[in-house]
Amino acid sequence: MKINILHAGYCTAPECLAIRGGRWRSIRFPAMFALFRHPKFGAMLFDTGYSQRFFDETKQFPSRLYRWMTPVTLHEEDLIANRLSTFNLQLKDITHIFLSHFHADHIASLPDLAWSRFVYLPHALNRLRNSPSSQDLKHAFLRGLIPSDFDSRSREVDMTKPILLSEDYAPFTTGYDLLGDGSIIGVELPGHADGQMGVFARDGDDKLFFFVADAAWLKQSVVENRPPHKMADFLFSDSAAYRQTLGNLHSYYLTHPDTIIVPSHCEKTIRSFENDRQHSL
């Protein structure tokens, strides 16, 4: 089985918003997704990045403000179908999608993936569904990106059955065996969004990858324990929990230097792996 780190489009925003002390100039934030190819479960994704449907869903106010606040660029070759075709895969070949959370830049291709099962922490979506639609923009949530048959294809993580993690994962102590074979372990990373889930996966060279979603926007934030500007707090479900999670990631980084930590929007990290697409899992 193999793992590949890709992206489907990018948005731009000031660097200083993503990391305290950063520059005021805008930088790119690629919308990362990861491709896992498992010998039993086939091709699977962690998140999906942007798609053309993001633009369809942000044509009207107030959702159009989302597009204005974080301008998005999406080239034809960035579409998830075209990214998958380079691996001789089609959309129908994707068996599972592990969803970190339900912000639009992580789920925009869900309507195109009509054959997949969705795996996620239940409160990641429940709280959004139970909030008034007037709050959607605040939560970067576009309801039109949720397929009509989403519930019938969902496999919510059973949070009553956590597993104890070994010291290899400290300070993270509990997680969820997402496939039942230990190959992909989910952990909750609170703060950025309700029910945000990161995943650990180990490759064939025994390298451990940690996909941390938006628990940090830049790898530098993890390395230096440097959170975003206070202005970003209004984007988070719980700013105090965000800083606690970032602190845990920093502690993990210091004690596990060989683990490859992958934030979902760090261009430097994502580009380094897109230049080498043959990492074995």
What are the residues whose beta carbons fall under 8 Å from the beta carbon of 21, sequence distance 6 or more? 226
Q: Taking phi first (over 0 means left), then psi (-120 to 50 degrees means alpha), and beta for anything else, what does residue 249 get?
A: alpha
What's the CA gap between 68 and 13, in Å, rounded? Answer: 10
CB 112 within 8 A of CB 50: no
Mean pLDDT of the chain: 94
The predicted-structure confidence for 151-201, as pLDDT tens digits, reads as follows 999 999 999 999 999 988 999 999 999 999 999 999 999 999 999 999 999
Per-residue pLDDT averaged across 70-87, rounded? Answer: 97
**What are the φ/ψ torsions at residue 254 (nearest 5 degrees)?**
-65, -35
What pLDDT is stored for residue 280 in this prediction?
36
Q: pLDDT band at residue 276, thresholds of 50, 70 and 90? A: low
pTM summary value: 0.95
Complete domains list, the chain, with CATH: 2-280 (3.60.15.10)
| pLDDT tens readout for residues 104-127 | 999 999 999 999 999 999 999 998
Q: What is the mean pLDDT of residues 238-253?
A: 98
* Strand-pair category, 184-188 with 26-38: unpaired
| Distances 58 to 80, 104, 124, 136, 219 between C-alpha atoms, Å | 19, 10, 22, 12, 29
Contacts of 69 (CB under 8 A, 6+ apart): 13
| Percentage above 70 pLDDT, the chain | 98
In this predicted structure, the answer to whether residue 278 has a pLDDT above a threshold of 50 is no
Residue 1, pLDDT score:
73
What pLDDT is attached to residue 275? 61
Predicted confidence (pLDDT) at residue 279 exceeds the cutoff of 50: no
Cα 9 to Cα 3: distance, rounded to the nearest angstrom: 19
